[in-house]
Amino acid sequence: MPMKRLVVFRFHRDPLVCRARVELIRRLNPGVPVHGLFGGPGGLRGAAFRLAGRRVLGLDALYVSRHSGPWNWKNGDLVLLDWYRETGHRLSFDVLHFIEWDLLLTEPLERAYAGVPTGAVGLTAPTPLSVIGDDWHWTAGQHEAREWDELLAFARARYGYGYDLVPYGCLGDGPCFPRAFLDDYAAADPPALGNDELRYPLFAQLLGYPVADTGFRRAWHSPADDPYFNDLGDRNIEKATIAAELAKPDGRRTFHPVRTPLLGLHPVHAHRPASSD
């Protein structure tokens, strides 16, 4: 029996880009609900976006975070848990795809996530911290390193580990979660220490869930991936680059960040096996 999928679309700016992205998700995944999660600024601009967000973007529903924009950016997982406790737990789904507004998926979810087995937490480029290195902001900065130490202390106190597990980081772009993990993660009530890219793999370990790589980026340190999938500030993936990949039978189908609507760009469905769920 096919898995019942649900998309939570996280956004905070650029309504035209967001609308185009939601339209593409729906076109590629008929019948899959798309719920919005707004984590942008307050004030008049934020209020206007919140009021018009559901109708303009074509969402099934819209949840507005009560926290500040910077807090939401750092703690995407905690905002998702707010949504889940208040709204999401009432919905029927097997797996949830947490899609950022500037993540472009040009094939159906079952193909894009074919490498994530049923019951696993899907993360992008999960990598041991020893491999990531000493210059990653979330563990290198003085304040950030202190928060990471406090988060590990929380894990040891709560779960009784001497923490001999290998600590990982990941990229927060496009994770997916089985429903059971969201139940357990919400019950764990993780603290706002570190950031989501540290907490996702940590709590998957602590709660006993296998982690699978989405494959959206082939490795953490992979300059060859940067033109297609990166977290390098405001570097935007160009339309010509995307079109060239879509024209290849075995080209890339997932890109980040894409912060333009890409009107007139049509996904090309490669003949790839879908998942067997």
Structural domain spans, the chain: 5-122+173-194+210-255
Burial of 35 (0-12, 13-18, 19+ CB in 10 A): buried
Give tens-digit pLDDT for 28-77.
999 999 999 998 765 555 566 666 667 778 999 999 888 988 999 999 99
Global pTM? 0.92
Distance CA 100, CA 8 (A): 8
With respect to CATH, is domain 5-122+173-194+210-255 assigned 3.40.50? no
pLDDT for position 41: 63
Give tens-digit pLDDT for 86-141.
999 999 999 999 999 999 999 999 999 999 999 999 999 999 999 999 999 999 98
